[in-house]
A and B are shown apart, each in its own frame.
Chain A
Amino acid sequence: MSEKPPLVKCLVWDLDNTLWQGTLLEDSEVRLSEEVRAVIVELDSRGILQSVASKNDHDLAWKRLEELGVAEYFLVPQIGWGRKSDSVIAIAKELQFALSTIAFVDDTPAERAEVTYHAPEVRCYTHEDVLSLVDRPEFSPAVVTADARRRREMYQANALRTVAKDSFNGPDEEFLRSLDLVMAIKRADEDDLSRVEELTLRTSQMNATGVHYPDQVLRGLLADPGHEVLTVTLTDKFGPHGAVGVLLLERHPDVWHLKLLATSCRVVTYGAGTVLLNWLVDQAAQAGVHLAADFRPTDRNRMMEIAYRFAGFTQDPCDCLSGIKSFIDGGDIQCLHLVTARREGPATMRLVSPDLTVAASI
């Protein structure tokens, strides 16, 4: 059996004679077929982002896309007279995607060859492939989560945030306050689990333990009164960030054991990891227990280590740790420990959260 091809995260469209029929500079009324429109809408609903690399007059081409009612589907469009490979590479960079997750569709063989020459990882398709793209495995994610469906909107909201941040000169905390951030922590239910799985896969650099918890493991722990599986979402005045964090916690009589804490790198600038940790410390203090956390230092999760240490975690011994058996065997996992005390809520965002001192009713 051949290996499943990696999923495409962004499809980059040529315009003339690929997306629309005809050449815009010769015919200002170029048509978009209903079949191609349906492909654009379907890929969007699957969470696959789309962009444009076209040799055209930028303002004319963008105006035509708006008239055709599809402009909103395309992020970071590259319309001009430069090389298409530069456009594709610029799009990948802007979206922070690897080139191997980018696809490019163009009717001109020379353009496809030019992209392949400079960016061989990019998968190229012809105009004849357009209608069958939605049937291909690389455009067919197994799970389409609520976040995936909203991925384009989240990127667009992000672009607005960047502009807002660039034009804001005050201290960081004041900027954060101006965003009206709301963090919602909730006990995960069945529906949240696929979002959790996608998050732990996608954001490994912010996963403090570096251990992936498969869907069925987390599903089993949902029903376990000794464990808490929590998901975290973040919204601000520009819109949703979606699911940005996941925690897995095991209750012991004297200590809560944090086995998994992953936060999306998209929200690291909002200090989401620290806000979560402080909330958990406060909950544990109210329950009269200590906190222990698995941590495996890697070259990519330094931020998380600093968040733990600044929150007061140490590697000092404590009697409460004798009852803990780490989920992972292996010597490179540190057990960080904290004698908890009440903490104040965050100054930069509003928090909506469950009361962990009361066990969940299932």
Chain B
Amino acid sequence: MKTSPLTAEAIESAMTAYLTERTKTEVKPDDDIFASGLVSSMFAMELVVHLESTYDIAIIGPELKIDNFRTAKVMAALVLRLSEDGVASDA
């Protein structure tokens, strides 16, 4: 059974809520969580596992670069790119 398709907006808002809760700081979709010192490298690992289990994706090899995890917005793009259920853009 298929759930409603993933959208960038839905992932973004879920991720900003998750980041806000985990860092106990208000996080906006464009905030660079690594530049601001909000998260430790330890949390980076949690983040990878959270994205993989929540959206049923595998983030491997070159996709693990830190630039794919800097903001809720780029994480949403990563999830859509790796997810079969995602609404693909025209690219």
Using CB atoms and an 8 Å cutoff, list the residues of chain A in contact with chain B. Answer: 170-173, 176, 268-271, 274-275, 303, 305-307, 309-310, 312, 314-315, 347-348
- 1/0 per residue, CB under 8 A from A, across B52-74: the answer is 00000000011011100100000
Per-residue interface assignment for chain B, residues 23 to 51, with 1 indicating a CB less than 8 Å from any chain A CB and 0 otherwise: 11100000000000111111111001000
Q: Once the chains bind, are B64 and A309 in contact (CB under 8 Å)?
A: yes
Instruction: Return the contact of A306 from the options B37, B39, B62, B64 (Cβ within 8 A).
Output: B64
A274 with B41: in contact, given A314-B62, A314-B65 (CB under 8 Å)?
yes
Q: Which residue of A lies closest to B65 (CB)?
A: A309
**A309 to B41 alpha-carbon distance, docked (Å):** 11
- A309 and B59 CA atoms in complex are apart in Å by 11
A275 CA to B42 CA, complexed, in Å: 10
Complex contact A173–B40 (CB within 8 A): yes
What residues of B have a CB within 8 angstroms of the CB of A270 in the complex? 42
Q: Give the size category of B's interface with A.
A: 10 to 19
B63, closest chain A residue (CB): A309
**Contact of A271 with B66 in the complex, beta carbons under 8 Å:** no
B91 → chain A closest CB, angstroms: 23
State the main secondary structure of chain B at its contact with A: helix
Given contacts A171-B23, A347-B37, contact A310 B44 (CB under 8 A): yes
**Closest CB-CB distance, A46 to chain B, in whole Å?**
34
- A306-B48 contact given A170-B24, A347-B37, CB 8 Å threshold: yes
Do the beta carbons of A274 and B23 come within 8 Å of each other?
no
**B45 contacts across to A, CB distance below 8 A:** 303, 306-307
Given contacts A171-B23, A303-B45, A306-B45, contact A348 B40 (CB under 8 A): yes
**Which residues in B have their C-beta under 8 angstroms from that of A306?**
44-45, 48, 64
Contact, CB under 8 Å: A305 / B40 = no
Q: Which residues of A contact B23 (CB under 8 A)?
A: 171
Ordered by A's residue number, 24 sampled pairs between the chains whose C-beta atoms are within 8 Å are A171-B23, A171-B25, A171-B38, A172-B40, A172-B43, A173-B37, A173-B40, A268-B42, A269-B42, A271-B42, A305-B64, A306-B45, A306-B48, A307-B41, A309-B61, A309-B64, A309-B65, A310-B41, A310-B64, A312-B66, A314-B65, A315-B61, A347-B37, A348-B40
Most chain A beta-carbon contacts within 10 A, residue among B25, B42, B43, B62: B42
Chain A residues contacting B38 (CB-CB under 8 Å) are: 171
Residues of A close to B61: CB separation below 8 A: 309, 315
Contact residues in B for A315 (Cβ distance below 8 Å): 61-62
Residues of B within 8 A of A307 (CB): 41, 45
What residues on A are CB-neighbors of B39 within 8 Å? Answer: 173
In the complex, what residues of A have CB within 8 A of residue B40's CB? 172-173, 176, 271, 348
Closest chain B residue, CB of each to CB of A309: B64
Q: Which residue of B lies closest to A270 (CB)?
A: B42
Distance in Å from the Cβ of B59 to the closest Cβ of chain A? 9
Most chain A beta carbons < 10 A, residue from B25, B43, B62, B64: B64
Residue from A172, A303, A312, A315 having most chain B Cβ neighbours under 10 A? A172
- The residue of chain B having its C-beta at the shortest distance from the C-beta of A169 within the complex is B24
Cα of A171 to Cα of B66 in the assembled complex, Å: 20
A312 proximity list for chain B (CB < 8 A):
65-66
CB of A277 to closest CB in B, whole Å? 9
User: Within 8 Å CB of B48, what residues of A?
Assistant: 306
B21–chain A nearest beta-carbon distance, Å: 11
Most buried by A among B41, B61, B64: B41
Give the Cβ gap from B41 to chain A, nearest Cβ, in Å.
Answer: 4
Contact B64 A274 (CB under 8 A): no
Which residues on the A side are within 8 Å of B42 (C-beta)? 172, 268-271, 274
